[in-house]
């Protein structure tokens, strides 16, 4: 992958190849220095064995990620004095150091096998068949190791013996501590340090890497790290087609397949129901096809359940490993039990409904309890709405350099604050701060066995109460707000002071202007009584619709004409046939 241009998103400077290589070199030097410090500080046979065993000092299992395992053991990378290095860069250095230390364990076991079977006399390079077989037996998986590897290690030990007149104690004495390597493992970083995506203009041939790089060899503040966008051409070995990979894409494919099978089964059931309504026997072919479709739908549903369970366990394990690496004693999670999937489109609603939020929380509780970490649920309302520094309402927009309205980026409008970050980053800071500030309000929910913070204190946070799963009352309790129609004039009576109303005041007979007498505003939220005004009629008692109780309809200015009772007719005017006699018409 050949990069040919970089763009500093903060200053807007276009970086040529030389400037881009210089900044990447500064980042590589910092990472290599910190990684070499970790490797050199723990280059001993005992510590290599501890890391390779996969068991922490507390008896728990070490995380699979190298940087998490090092932080669990307390082997963190040290930042050079006087410099500022983001935690994600330290994570990259610890990942590289952990990989070096883990790979050294196999070389140490190989050297131990060579020293264990070292011949007492004679040339070690001229061993017999039995001696070589004993060497392979003493080495882990020795049958798969090439003979050239054994000979090279034997020559290395022989050189040490010739120089110091004794055998080395092990690999750590035979070799010096390796360096961190002139590389930066971005796989250990998250999107706060680096993101990789296809180029929007030409996704088939180009990709864009956004990474935070130092602007000077010795960065001392956070302002010395700028995001740089690097556009490069993809090699021909990468497929041009843009596909969504990963376990989430698999879950999405299974969801679409399950919906397709459910629709097909519903169609077949409709066909069978139509035949039953006509009094016909079910078609055997349709019955057989329906059974096959239902069986396939059940199989896909089981696959989705197993996949969701694996996703929940992986997410819970990832969070607990992070907490263990940071030596945290509590994990704060927001309460998303009342989050509903509606009004977001068919696809997004289905994805939200199929999410495994509750299962993730349950798995986090179980895995955190094994390591003595508490899990506390805090109210989620307002976590991404207010600034984590000054509690001012955020202004959300699409991106840091795009003021178009959106929900990805949040900026504090307060002039003394000016905090700007990703919406999710600000949300998890608010969640952690809310949990720490309201520790005295933590209670145990006996129904679920989880620690919960049900409300917040106004002096410490925005007042929020734990939401209760109640159904809102959608009964109409007031008039609909008047909305003016554009380019149309409402027909209302003329004011008394206008010339059109002057003749009426003088007693002259004129035509009444169109419209009705204006009424005072009656916008109230309380439910109205039986009659709203003398000229309106309430809904009869025998008919009580839920949407308009006692006349509280959508248009309060509309009224029904009262129906007057007709006077009783004279019985003498009724004919013998029971009909009224029609008056004679003059011709």
The DSSP code for 393 is: B
Residue 341 has what pLDDT?
A: 58
User: Are 423 and 409 spatial neighbours (Cβ–Cβ below 8 Å)?
Assistant: yes
526 has pLDDT over 90: no
Residue 514 has what pLDDT?
A: 56
Mean pLDDT across 466-488: 56
Q: Which of 139, 174, 171 is nearest to 160 (CA)?
A: 174
Residue 580 has what pLDDT?
A: 44
Residue 511, both tokens: 């035509």
pLDDT confidence tier of residue 495, bands split at 50, 70 and 90: low
- Taking only the tens place, the pLDDT of each residue in 363-418 is 998 888 888 888 998 888 888 888 888 888 888 888 887 878 887 888 998 888 88
Residue 78 three-state SS: coil
The strands making up 420-422's β-sheet, listed across from edge to edge, are: 402-405, 395-399, 409-411, 420-422
Q: How many CB atoms lie within 10 A of CB 390?
A: 12
User: Are 218 and 83 spatial neighbours (Cβ–Cβ below 8 Å)?
Assistant: yes
- Output the CA–CA distances (angstroms, integers) from residue 208 to 4, 228, 232, 241, in the order listed: 11, 10, 6, 16
Question: Distance between CA atoms of 326 and 74, rounded to whole angstroms?
Answer: 9
**Long-range residue pairs from 400-403, CB within 8 A, at least 24 positions apart, any chain:** 400/9, 401/9
Residue 190 has what pLDDT?
A: 85
Is the pLDDT higher at 329 or at 517?
Answer: 329
Q: What angle do CA 230, 235, 237 make, to 5 degrees?
A: 145
pLDDT confidence tier of residue 558, bands split at 50, 70 and 90: very low
Residue 76, both tokens: 């963190």
Instruction: Name the residue with tokens 């209760």.
Output: 468
Residue 102 has what pLDDT?
A: 92
Q: Which of 402, 453, 391, 399 is nearest to 426 (CA)?
A: 391
Characterize the bridge pairing of strands 2-8 and 225-233.
antiparallel
Q: What pTM does this model have?
A: 0.56
Question: Per residue in 258-289, is it b (16+ CB within 10 Å) or e — as a string?
Answer: beebeebbeebeeeeeeeeeeeeeeeeeeeee
pLDDT confidence tier of residue 202, bands split at 50, 70 and 90: confident
CA 572 from chain centre, in angstroms, equals 86
Q: How many CB atoms lie within 10 A of CB 455?
A: 13
Q: Which of 89, 259, 294 is nearest to 180 (CA)?
A: 89
349 has pLDDT over 90: no
pLDDT confidence tier of residue 300, bands split at 50, 70 and 90: very high
Question: Distance between CA atoms of 126 and 115, rounded to whole angstroms?
Answer: 15
Lowest mean pLDDT among 142-151, 160-169, 459-468: 459-468
pLDDT, averaged across the chain: 78
545 has pLDDT over 90: no
pLDDT confidence tier of residue 549, bands split at 50, 70 and 90: very low
Mean pLDDT across 432-461: 79
Is the pLDDT higher at 326 or at 347?
Answer: 326
Residue 23 three-state SS: helix
147 has pLDDT over 60: yes
- Taking only the tens place, the pLDDT of each residue in 42-83 is 999 999 999 999 888 888 889 888 999 999 999 999 999 999
Question: Distance between CA atoms of 362 and 312, rounded to whole angstroms?
Answer: 9
250 has pLDDT over 60: yes
Strands (E), 466-513: none
User: Are 255 and 304 spatial neighbours (Cβ–Cβ below 8 Å)?
Assistant: yes
| Backbone dihedral region for residue 570 (phi beyond 0: left; psi -120 to 50: alpha; all else: beta) | beta
SS3 assignment for 299-347:
HHHHHHHHHHHHHHHHHHHHHHHHHHHCCCCEEEEECCCCCCCCCCCHH
Q: How many CB atoms lie within 10 A of CB 477?
A: 13
Question: Distance between CA atoms of 85 and 214, rounded to whole angstroms?
Answer: 9
Is the pLDDT higher at 345 or at 93?
Answer: 93
Mean pLDDT across 283-292: 92
Residue 221 has what pLDDT?
A: 92
3-state helix, strand, coil in the chain (%, to 5): 40, 10, 45
Question: Distance between CA atoms of 212 and 205, rounded to whole angstroms?
Answer: 24
Q: What angle do CA 262, 267, 271 make, to 5 degrees?
A: 145
1 has pLDDT over 50: no
Q: Which of 151, 55, 149, 161 is nearest to 107 (CA)?
A: 149
pLDDT confidence tier of residue 85, bands split at 50, 70 and 90: very high
In the chain, what is the straight-line distance between the N-terminal and C-terminal CA atoms, in Å? Answer: 106
Q: What residues have CB less than 8 Å from 90, skipping those under 6 apart?
A: 34, 76, 77, 79
Strands (E), 171-315: 194-198, 206-214, 225-233
- Taking only the tens place, the pLDDT of each residue in 566-578 is 555 555 544 444 4
Residue 539 has what pLDDT?
A: 41
* Residues linked to residue 446 through DSSP beta bridges, in sequence order: none
Residue 264 has what pLDDT?
A: 93
Is the pLDDT higher at 212 or at 502?
Answer: 212
Q: Hey, CA dihedral for 65, 67, 68, 73, is it positive or negative?
A: positive
Percentage of the chain surpassing pLDDT 70?
A: 72
Residue 459, both tokens: 């002096």
């Amino acid at each position: 992958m050949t990069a040919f241009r970089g763009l500093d998103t903060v200053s807007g400077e276009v970086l040529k190849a030389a400037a881009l290589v210089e900044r990447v070199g500064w980042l590589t030097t910092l990472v290599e220095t910190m990684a070499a410090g970790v490797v050199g500080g723990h280059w001993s046979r005992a510590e290599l064995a501890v890391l390779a065993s996969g068991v922490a000092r507390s008896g728990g299992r070490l995380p699979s990620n190298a940087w998490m395992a090092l932080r669990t053991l307390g082997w963190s990378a040290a930042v050079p004095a006087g410099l500022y290095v983001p935690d994600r860069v330290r994570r990259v250095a610890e990942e590289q150091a952990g990989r070096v230390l883990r790979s050294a364990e196999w070389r140490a076991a190989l050297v131990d096998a060579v020293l264990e079977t070292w011949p007492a006399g004679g040339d070690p390079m001229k061993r017999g068949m039995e001696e070589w077989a004993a060497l392979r037996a003493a080495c882990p998986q020795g049958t798969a190791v090439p003979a050239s590897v054994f000979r090279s290690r034997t020559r290395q030990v022989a050189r040490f013996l010739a120089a110091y007149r004794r055998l080395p104690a092990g690999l750590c004495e035979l070799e010096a501590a390796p360096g961190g390597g002139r590389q930066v493992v971005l796989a250990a970083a998250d999107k706060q340090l680096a993101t990789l995506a296809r180029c929007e203009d030409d996704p088939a041939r180009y990709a864009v890497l956004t990474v935070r790089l130092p602007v000077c060899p010795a960065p001392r503040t956070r302002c010395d790290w700028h995001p740089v966008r690097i556009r490069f051409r993809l090699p021909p070995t990468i497929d041009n087609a843009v596909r969504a990979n990963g376990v989430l894409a698999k879950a999405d494919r299974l969801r679409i397949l399950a919906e397709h099978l459910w629709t097909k089964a519903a169609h077949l059931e409709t066909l069978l129901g139509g035949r039953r309504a006509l009094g016909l026997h079910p078609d055997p072919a349709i019955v057989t096809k329906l059974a096959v479709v239902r069986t396939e739908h059940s199989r896909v549903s089981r696959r989705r359940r197993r996949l969701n369970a694996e996703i929940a366990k992986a997410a819970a394990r990832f969070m607990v490993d992070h907490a263990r690496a940071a030596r945290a004693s509590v994990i704060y999670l927001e309460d998303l039990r009342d989050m509903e999937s509606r009004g977001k489109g068919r696809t997004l609603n289905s994805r939200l409904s199929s999410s495994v939020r509750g299962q993730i929380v349950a798995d986090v509780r179980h895995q955190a309890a094994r390591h003595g970490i508490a899990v506390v649920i805090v109210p989620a309302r307002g976590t991404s709405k207010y600034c984590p520094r000054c509690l001012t309402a955020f202004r959300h927009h699409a991106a840091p350099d795009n003021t178009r309205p959106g929900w990805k980026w949040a900026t504090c409008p307060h002039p003394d604050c000016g905090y700007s970050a990703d919406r999710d980053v600000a949300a998890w800071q608010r969640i952690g701060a809310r949990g720490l500030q309201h520790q005295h309000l933590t209670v145990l929910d006996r129904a679920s066995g989880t620690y919960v913070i049900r409300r917040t204190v106004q002096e410490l946070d925005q007042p929020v109460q734990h939401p209760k799963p109640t159904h809102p009352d959608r009964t109409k309790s007031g008039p609909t707000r008047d909305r003016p129609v554009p380019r149309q004039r409402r027909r209302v009576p003329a004011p008394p002071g206008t010339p059109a109303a002057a003749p009426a005041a003088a007693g002259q007979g004129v035509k009444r202007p169109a419209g009705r007498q204006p009424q005072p505003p009656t916008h109230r939220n309380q439910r109205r009584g039986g009659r709203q005004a003398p000229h309106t009629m309430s809904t009869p008692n025998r008919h009580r619709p839920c949407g308009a109780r006692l006349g509280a309809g959508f248009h309060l200015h509309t009224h029904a004409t009262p129906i007057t009772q007709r006077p009783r007719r004279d019985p003498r005017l009724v004919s013998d046939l029971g009909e009224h006699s029609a008056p004679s018409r003059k011709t």
